[in-house]
Amino acid sequence: MTTAAPPPVGRAARLRLRRSLQVATRGADLLDRQLHLLRTELADLRRAEATARDEWEARVREAETWLLRGLLLGGENALRTASRVSAADITVEWEDTLGVRHPARTAVSPGTAAASNAAPGNTALVHARTAYRAAVATAARYGAAATASRLVEVRMRTTLVRVRALRRHRIPRLQQDLTAVELALEQSEHEDAVRRRWAARRGGADTRG
């Protein structure tokens, strides 16, 4: 088991400790303000994430409903014809918020069918294709919102750990060391004053003798 090192002594040490305490206190205050802003931002992002999730789930349900209708009307052959489209392309735009880089906006280019492909066999499959395109777009927004929430949450937790380390450990230790140094200096100054008075009285007695 190791013991804590004794605090430094002297006026220079007192000055260094005061400066360190000021820096630590100012840093904790800044982190507290950042933590408040991060919490507000995270609450907004979580609401956006919940809205995007609800919209995505609604679009998926709508698409599945049209798909089932189209399958019942046209059979599997009609479904295979309707599903011959290229993959969608998703672009994600990133931005910085409170020092956190996260996805912000998305753009989706839906897959397209070749001109030579036959049109879907019934109207229900046409609606299903449109509904699935909408589902892909909302899925992209949901994914971006969820990722942004997670990234901001990680930064918030990291900031909270730093604040607690300063408030619970760094600042109290500096205050304790500063108090010890100031007491030691006060004691030293008191002893110096006593010695000076004693020396003055002795000098006076020697002069009279």
pLDDT value for 175: 94
Give 101's strand partners.
Answer: 96
38-88 per-position pLDDT tens digit:
999 999 999 999 999 999 999 999 999 998 888 888 777 766 666 667 778
147-191 per-position pLDDT tens digit:
999 999 999 999 999 999 999 999 999 999 999 998 888 787 766
Is residue 102 predicted with pLDDT exceeding 90?
Answer: yes
Q: How far is CA 9 from CA 24, 180, 193, 196, in A?
A: 20, 8, 19, 22
Is residue 196 predicted with pLDDT exceeding 70?
Answer: yes
CB under 8 Å to 66, separation ≥6 — which residues?
124, 125, 127, 128, 131
Count CB neighbours of 186 within 10 A: 10
Is residue 2 predicted with pLDDT exceeding 60?
Answer: no
The distance between the two most distant Cα atoms of the chain, rounded to a whole number of Å, is: 130
107-146 per-position pLDDT tens digit:
998 777 655 555 666 788 888 888 988 999 999 999 999 9
